[in-house]
């Protein structure tokens, strides 16, 4: 019964339906309309119609688009084995567990091995997301990796992940799947999810893998107590698939930045630093640590703190009217979860004082992982999706270097 209309019938029907002749025919009197077949072709929906208009028969072709949405089908996480506790940091820095806990909420973080990179962690998280997938898996067609800690400028991490996935399981990714890396500071994962959703909605791809992976220990100077206590390493990955359910999956996104804040959080080349392994070796050997040259993260913590608090509060207060993020006009109170980038627990509490109810919805994992940049929301997303029911909603929010801010609104389907 289902058939695709031929190119020629389609053309003639369209020209007839728009002609003056037909308009005048319509005014003559009664008519009947019969739908005689319908069909999905790609992401479009076609209906063929037989119109009986006072003994005149027209074959009409009616077609309209089914608007695709994007579902998170599975989430994967990778965390290095090595735990670096606040007590460990007391051995190499002039700091203490009490200060770190009180000012940040962090108790421990994971640190990658020497041979682990943002790329190896990205591939492990991607494999985990695929292993966690339930149902019939369709091969990944495109890969986006959000990262700030690439050791190489090129090739990109997306192509490394593609290769590793093909080695892992030949059927899980197209052998010619393309991809790119996204750089937007710790907001990078939210920007990457926004990009992937746009690719799916535009019907370019049905199955996209999004990964956030950062090895911040690689760019941290372990002689700087103002930054060294905050960061950890990790990766998370999201398998996204197209669905043709209205108002489901990603509902909207909202990203913005302030380029005048770009000096507040940077990663600069050829700077002095003490790497984590050297810091501990020096303590063991009872000597001063050796300084090396490399990429180093530098931050004005207070400026970043203020940027995040003011913009996150504004986002919460104006949530209902933010058409880009929240086209359905949901109330903030009705959200089931907020999944913020894990930068500082004290920051979340400060927002809660201005926006009561924020903490109640806020998913917090910072105690065990610290700030893992683009990877930090994966653990919460996985937990949220495991426990959510259809229709539940979550707001994910990222912020950081740029200064950048990016948020996504998701409805479980």
Known catalytic residues are: 186, 341, 371
Distance CA 189, CA 242 (A): 19
H/E segment holding residue 367: helix 366-369
Q: Single out the segment in contact with ligand COA by CB under 6 A; choices: 23-31, 144-152, 156-164, 300-308.
A: 300-308
When asked if residue 258 is in the footprint of ligand COA (CB under 6 A), the reply is no
Cβ proximity to ligand COA: between 76 and 188 the closer is: 188
At residue 302, the 3 state secondary structure works out as helix
How many residues of this chain interact with ligand COA, rule: CB under 6 A?
Answer: 18
Which residues are within 8 A (CB) of 48 and not within 5 positions of it... i.e. 6 or more apart? 3, 5, 35, 36, 37, 38, 59, 60, 61, 62
In the list 4, 41, 85, 226, the residue contacting ligand COA (rule: CB under 6 A) is: 226
Report the residue from 229, 239, 296, 325 that binds ligand COA according to the rule CB under 6 A.
229
Rounded Cα–Cα distance for residues 320 and 226 (Å)? 37
Tell me whether residue 74 or residue 104 sits nearer to ligand COA (CB atom): 104
Beta bridge partners of 394: 337, 410
- DSSP bridge partners of 325: none
**Binding map of ligand COA across residues 96-125, x = CB under 6 A, - = no contact:** ---xx--xx---------------------
Contact stretch for ligand COA (CB under 6 A) within 31-39, 137-145, 191-199, 295-303: 295-303
**Pick from 74, 207, 241, 344: which binds ligand COA (CB under 6 A)?**
344
Using the rule CB under 6 A, is 213 a contact of ligand COA?
no
Separation CA 241–CA 69 (nearest Å): 8
**Binder of ligand COA out of 13, 144, 186, 211 (CB under 6 A):** 186
Residue of 94, 91, 398 lying closest to 226 (CA atoms): 94
Taking only Cα atoms into account, the Rg of the chain, rounded to an integer number of angstroms, comes to 26
Exposed / middle / buried, residue 360 (Cβ in 10 Å: 0-12, 13-18, 19+): exposed
Using the rule CB under 6 A, is 301 a contact of ligand COA?
Answer: yes
Tell me the closest approach of the beta carbon of residue 154 to ligand COA, in angstroms.
25
343 counts as binding ligand COA under rule CB under 6 A: yes
Check residue 371 for interaction with ligand COA (CB under 6 A). yes
* 277 vs 305, beta carbon nearer ligand COA: 305
Separation of alpha carbons 11 and 58, rounded Å = 13
Contacts with ligand COA by CB under 6 A lie at 95, 99-100, 103-104, 186, 225-226, 229, 299, 301-302, 304-305, 343-344, 371, 400
């Amino acid at each position: 019964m289902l058939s695709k209309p031929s190119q020629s019938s389609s053309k003639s029907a369209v020209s007839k339906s728009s002609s003056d002749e037909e308009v005048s025919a319509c005014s003559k009197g009664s008519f009947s309309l019969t739908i005689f077949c319908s069909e999905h072709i790609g992401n479009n929906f076609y209906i063929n119609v037989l119109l009986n208009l006072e003994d005149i028969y027209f074959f009409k072709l009616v077609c309209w688009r089914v608007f695709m949405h994007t579902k998170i089908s599975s989430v994967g996480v990778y965390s290095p084995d090595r735990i670096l506790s606040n007590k460990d940091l007391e051995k190499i820095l002039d700091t203490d567990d009490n200060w770190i806990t009180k000012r940040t909420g962090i108790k421990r973080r994971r640190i990658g091995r020497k041979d682990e990179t943002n790329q190896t962690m990205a591939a492990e998280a991607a494999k985990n997301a695929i292993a966690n997938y339930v149902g019939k898996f369709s091969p990944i067609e495109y890969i986006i990796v959000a990262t700030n800690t690439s050791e190489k400028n090129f090739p990109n991490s997306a192509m490394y992940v593609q290769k590793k996935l093909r080695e892992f399981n030949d059927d899980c990714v197209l052998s010619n799947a393309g991809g790119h890396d996204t750089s937007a500071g710790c907001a990078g994962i939210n920007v990457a999810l926004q990009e992937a959703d746009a690719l799916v909605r535009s019907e370019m791809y049905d199955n996209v893998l999004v990964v956030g992976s950062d090895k911040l220990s690689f760019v941290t100077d372990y002689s700087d107590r103002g930054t060294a206590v905050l960061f950890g390493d990790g990766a998370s990955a999201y398998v996204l698939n197209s669905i043709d359910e209205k108002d489901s999956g990603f509902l909207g996104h909202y990203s913005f930045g302030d380029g005048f804040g770009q000096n507040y959080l940077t990663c600069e080349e050829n700077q002095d630093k003490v790497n984590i392994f050297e810091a501990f070796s020096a303590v063991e050997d009872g000597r001063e640590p050796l300084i090396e040259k490399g990429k180093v993260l530098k931050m004005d913590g207070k400026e970043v703190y203020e940027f995040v608090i003011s913009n996150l509060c504004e986002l919460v207060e104006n949530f209902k009217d933010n058409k880009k993020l929240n086209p359905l006009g949901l109330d903030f109170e009705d959200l089931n979860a907020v999944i913020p980038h894990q930068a500082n627990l004290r920051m979340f509490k400060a927002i809660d004082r201005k926006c009561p109810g924020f903490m109640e919805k806020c998913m917090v994992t910072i105690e065990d992982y610290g700030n893992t940049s683009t990877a930090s929301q994966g653990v919460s997303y996985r937990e949220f999706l495991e426990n959510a029911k259809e229709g539940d909603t979550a707001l994910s929010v990222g912020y950081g270097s740029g200064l950048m801010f990016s948020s996504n609104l998701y409805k479980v389907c």
